[in-house]
Amino acid sequence: MDIDKLLKSQPFEKGVTISGGISFGKAYILFKNDQIKYAKKISYEEIEGEIGRFYKALENAKKRVKEMKKNLNARVSLEILTIFDAQYAILSDPLFIGEIVDNIKAKNVNAEYSTKTVANNWKIKLQKLNDPYFKERTNDINELAIILIEELSLLGMKKLCLLEPAIIVAEFITLSELVSLEKDKILGFVTSHGGYTSHLAIVARALNIPALSMINNIHNDISHGDDIIIDGLRNILIVKPKKEVKEFYIKEKHNHEEKRMALNEYNKLPPVSNDGVSINFEANLEIIEELPLVEKYNASGIGLFRTEFLIDYTSNLPGEKKQTEYYSQILNYNKELPVTMRTFDIGGDKMIQQMEFYKEENPFLGWRAIRFQMDNINLLKTQLRAFFISNSSGNLKILFPMISQMNEIKRLKETINEVKQELENEGVKINAYKIGIMVEIPSAAIISDLFAKEVDFISIGTNDLTQYTLAVDRGNEKVQGLFNSMAPSVLRLIKIVNDNANMANIPVAVCGEMSGKPLEFIALLIVGIRQFSLVPWKIPIMKKIISTLNIKEIGKYWNEVKFLESHEEVREFLIEKFQDTFKLVKSFTDNYIL
């Protein structure tokens, strides 16, 4: 059955796919006050901490009630002020507190849920009384429960416990929420906010979980437990699909799974081409929870760790201790493998609180990444210190983003020396490390021969390089059609960088999305790139592709590609010259990868 025909009689919502694929399952609505609605199991070891968290929230809630009373004092009647006293009395009520604590202990559930349960029980008790006056008091208890739960949520959340796999539906999803979710039970994400470069999008793509954003009125259209389908190919969300529609997608999903099985086979392949050339595949990671993927997909290292995710994770700028704790886990995960730590890439679309007061006309051309960090030198030094302290096995590679001028790398190297000196004075041993830059701004690509003399390695960020070369904001739907990394200008720039790095005898890798898209990947091989860093689950696909290619002679195509005039021409050229590979790729991947 033709799906387009089916969709004529099936209502659906249009959205924007931020992580491809097809998914169907039950909707799990993640309200911002979700903590109340669903119990989250805590382990025996966590009980004490959870009770501590509750007492702290209780104190904060009391303070808040006192403050509210104080602020209103002169303006309202005694009657109303009494309500605050009563609320305060409830927050101090030994029975109320005792019951909540007992509930946490006895049922092993989070404090929010326990608060809600106990408050509900009291509401019911009071509602049973005859006097209408007492019945009204149930509202006071409700209000208090909300205050308490708000205070609890300010103290950080407990893990959300999904009882069965589901598609998460929410206005937006913060990184801390994302981290707290059990990834293996998430079938997909549906949100109203969060674009292609949002944290959600990056993590969803990394974990290969379909995600659809920009869906309006999610709360009106979707209820908890509804059957929903995410169709990332057509950018649509289907709520309560009709039987035929569901059947269509079940088939689609089945095909998808078969392809996935084939990929598992390819995971065992060596990263070697048909003519025996080894290609280097490393992993792009953003959160600690992804570390096991390095081994699962046989990556030869971490080619890009996006440290700025740590900021969102802790919702402020973490100090040296916190950072050291975090980086140590990454650098020590597998001491044999190189780990490329990119300094905070904040600004642009990734803001932190400290920057919020400063709104820019053109954030992507503004105070971002290394520019921001060099103006906040202590911030940079703290991060570098944490890198060096965590580098106990000498597998650290430091990567600086958004470099555009030579004096930047010179200053950064000076800063590194200062930090090293400081640490050595404190008795910290400095182990082996390497310094590299991201080439993602055309100016840096053009003079990459000069940079190559200053650094140990170069990493090409193709998303930004494309955006800056073509002057196209990919987030702007009016021009996003112009965004294409196979534009001849972009390929030529990458070629320049690759040649310059080879000339200086330093390694060069591509860590942008191009590495994970079959045709673009082949284009990069033609340009001369032999080292890639990409979302781990795509490594098997790329290994299968190279197993069909003769890499030694692939460079010869450059003589033709370099004279092509558009990305469409490049695409056609590649499809024609690599027909067999392309057909093979189509047989085991979904269209969205191409």
Active site residues: 199, 511
Does residue number 94 form part of the binding site for other proteins (CB under 8 A)?
Answer: yes
The H or E element spanning position 28 is: strand 22-29
Choice between 93 and 375, CB closer to other proteins: 93
User: Who's near 91: CB < 8 A, 6+ residues apart?
Assistant: 58, 61, 62, 65, 144, 148
The length of the chain, given as a count of residues: 594
Does residue number 89 form part of the binding site for other proteins (CB under 8 A)?
Answer: yes
Give the total of residues touching other proteins (CB under 8 A): 23
Quote the CA–CA distance of 200 and 205 in Å, as a whole number.
Answer: 8
Q: Which residues within the stretch 435-454 sit at the binding site for other proteins (CB under 8 A)?
A: none
Choice between 92 and 316, CB closer to other proteins: 92
Does residue number 133 form part of the binding site for other proteins (CB under 8 A)?
Answer: yes
Residue 424 structure tokens? 């050595």
DSSP 224: T
Q: Could you tell me how far CA 103 lies from the centroid of its own chain?
A: 35
Rule CB under 8 A: choose which of 51, 126, 406, 575 binds other proteins. Answer: 126
Quick one: CA dihedral 97, 162, 30, 45, positive or negative? positive
Residue 241 structure tokens? 């699909």
Choice between 130 and 264, CB closer to other proteins: 130
Residue 519 structure tokens? 């045709």
Least gap, CB of 81 to other proteins (angstroms):
10
Choice between 121 and 255, CB closer to other proteins: 121
- For 371, other C-beta atoms within 10 Å of its C-beta total 16
Does residue number 184 form part of the binding site for other proteins (CB under 8 A)?
Answer: no
Least gap, CB of 139 to other proteins (angstroms):
11
Phi, psi of 154 (to 5 degrees): -65, -25
Does residue number 83 form part of the binding site for other proteins (CB under 8 A)?
Answer: yes
Does residue number 79 form part of the binding site for other proteins (CB under 8 A)?
Answer: yes
Does residue number 125 form part of the binding site for other proteins (CB under 8 A)?
Answer: yes
Choice between 94 and 276, CB closer to other proteins: 94
Least gap, CB of 84 to other proteins (angstroms):
9
The identity of residue 376, as a single letter, is N
Stretch that binds other proteins, among 64-72, 122-130, 360-368, 528-536 (CB under 8 A): 122-130
Give exposure, 328-344, as e/b (b: 16+ Cβ within 10 Å).
eebbebbeebbbbbbbb
Rule CB under 8 A: choose which of 67, 93, 275, 580 binds other proteins. Answer: 93
Rule CB under 8 A: choose which of 33, 73, 92, 489 binds other proteins. Answer: 92
Does residue number 130 form part of the binding site for other proteins (CB under 8 A)?
Answer: yes
Q: Using an 8 Å Cβ cutoff, are 151 and 64 in contact?
A: yes
- For 458, other C-beta atoms within 10 Å of its C-beta total 27
Choice between 95 and 155, CB closer to other proteins: 95
Choice between 28 and 122, CB closer to other proteins: 122
Rule CB under 8 A: choose which of 34, 140, 244, 289 binds other proteins. Answer: 140
Does residue number 86 form part of the binding site for other proteins (CB under 8 A)?
Answer: yes
Quote the CA–CA distance of 160 and 168 in Å, as a whole number.
Answer: 11
Stretch that binds other proteins, among 127-135, 243-251, 316-324, 388-396 (CB under 8 A): 127-135
Does residue number 122 form part of the binding site for other proteins (CB under 8 A)?
Answer: yes
Does residue number 162 form part of the binding site for other proteins (CB under 8 A)?
Answer: no
Please state the three-class secondary structure of 445-502 as a single string: HHCHHHHHHHCCEEEECHHHHHHHHHCCCCCCCCCHHHCCCCCHHHHHHHHHHHHHHH
Does residue number 82 form part of the binding site for other proteins (CB under 8 A)?
Answer: yes
SS3 215: coil
Region of residue 342 (left: phi > 0; alpha: psi -120 to 50; beta: else): beta
Choice between 68 and 428, CB closer to other proteins: 68
User: Who's near 31: CB < 8 A, 6+ residues apart?
Assistant: 37, 170
Residue with tokens 């990444």: 369
Stretch that binds other proteins, among 133-141, 159-167, 437-445, 452-460 (CB under 8 A): 133-141
Does residue number 508 form part of the binding site for other proteins (CB under 8 A)?
Answer: no
Rule CB under 8 A: choose which of 29, 90, 101, 311 binds other proteins. Answer: 90
Going by C-alpha positions, the residue among 376, 381, 302, 28 that lies closest to residue 177 is 28
Choice between 126 and 233, CB closer to other proteins: 126
Least gap, CB of 55 to other proteins (angstroms):
17
Stretch that binds other proteins, among 78-86, 279-287, 391-399, 556-564 (CB under 8 A): 78-86
Going by C-alpha positions, the residue among 102, 101, 71 that lies closest to residue 84 is 71
Least gap, CB of 76 to other proteins (angstroms):
14
In the complex, which residues of this chain contact other proteins (CB under 8 A)? 79, 82-83, 85-86, 89-90, 92-96, 122, 125-126, 129-131, 133-134, 137, 140-141
